Amino acid sequence: MIEKKSYSYFIGGILTCFFGAICFSTKAIFVKLAYRETHVDPVSLLALRMIFSLPFFVVSAWWSSAKSENIRFTRKQWLAVAGIGCLGYYISSLLDFLGLQYVTAGIERLILFVYPTLVLLMSAFILKVKIKPIQWLAVLITYVGLMIAFWGEVKVDNESEGFYLGVILIFICAITYAIYIVGSGRLIPTIGAAKFNSYAMSFAALAVVLHFFFVNDNSLFYLDRQVYIYSFLMAIIGTVIPSYLVAIGIKRVGSDNAAIIGSVGPVSTIVQASFFLQEPIHLLQLAGTAFILCGVLMISKK
């Protein structure tokens, strides 16, 4: 009976991570739909996404802090959570939304998905973690795949204005998100995943809203109806729900297994982009995706 319960608990964790990864992959689809069907700017769209998300994270942060076993943050931890949260979900998201103006949802997800290799490299050069030969091979395979997919995208859509700018912005986004992962990995063991996620996202949401009011003269109250619909769906389906699904999944199956299951993300984005955005799926993109998945899985399994 115990084994059956343990098995169902593990399978439930796998399904939770799977649906979390698919929900996360919808974010780029909603952004591209908003750009295609409205005239919204990236900062306004990002601000609406975080405004719709903020109440959920504030309530979750309050709930986690109200528990009897809660341990209060030190001043240093407050600063660390705020800084890392803003880097991971303010700076990274802003770069991502800016880059999605110029590249397809499929290529965006493939570029972002190299972040585990960046985490590995940062761990080696900053934290002095030794990288094994098999891990160097995984990094090489990942970037070969990225170059194949990149070349395929250039051949298919070589007249897209700002394509290279978009690629650079998305790659910098991957770098900042990798820094977020490295930093959060040092905080979560002492703070807890759910509490860290709630507070980090809350700080990031506040930073996004402040950014909007400082740099944007537009009003958030008189936009096209589709903007609010896509922003709300992006906040709920592509932000709030998956962030907690993945946290629950990691608790059940472990971070290594969750990372492997998360590899469905780029494939999910490519399929959704083809269905909802009519983005073409070409052979070089599929070949590059296979290389990237292979390299990332090698690193994630480690």
pLDDT per residue as tens digits for the range 126-161: 777 787 888 888 888 888 888 888 787 766 655 567
d(CA 233, CA 221): 17
Res 1: pLDDT: 44
- The arithmetic mean of pLDDT across residues 163-185, rounded, is 89
Span 171-198, average pLDDT: 85
Residue 61 pLDDT: 86
Distance CA 105, CA 89 (A): 18
Report the pLDDT value the prediction gives residue 2, as an integer from 0 to 100.
45
Nearest in space to 255 (alpha carbons), one of 293, 201, 213, 302: 302
pTM of the model: 0.85
pLDDT band of 195, cuts 50, 70, 90: confident
Residue 5, pLDDT > 60, answer no
CA-to-CA distance for 71 and 112, rounded, in angstroms? 34
Three-state DSSP class for residue 73: coil
**pLDDT at 256 (0 to 100):** 61
So what's the pLDDT on residue 155?
64
Split at pLDDT 50, 70, 90, the class of 191 is confident
> Which tens digits make up the pLDDT trace of 237-281?
999 898 888 878 877 777 667 767 777 888 888 889 989 999 888
pLDDT digits (tens, 9 = 90+) for 33-79: 999 999 999 999 999 999 999 999 899 888 888 776 777 888 899 99
Task: Work out the burial of residue 5: count CB atoms within 10 Å of its CB; fewer than 13 is exposed, 13-18 middle, 19 or more buried.
Answer: exposed
End-to-end CA separation in angstroms for the chain: 32
Percent of the chain with pLDDT over 70: 94
- Residue range 78-107: mean pLDDT, rounded: 92
State mean pLDDT over 80-88.
92
User: Worst-scoring range by mean pLDDT, 113-122, 168-177, 248-257?
Assistant: 248-257
Burial state string for 159-172 with b = 16 or more CB within 10 A and e = fewer than 16: eeeebeebbebbbb
Rounded average pLDDT over 171-177: 93
- Least-confidence region, from 82-91, 170-179, 214-223: 214-223
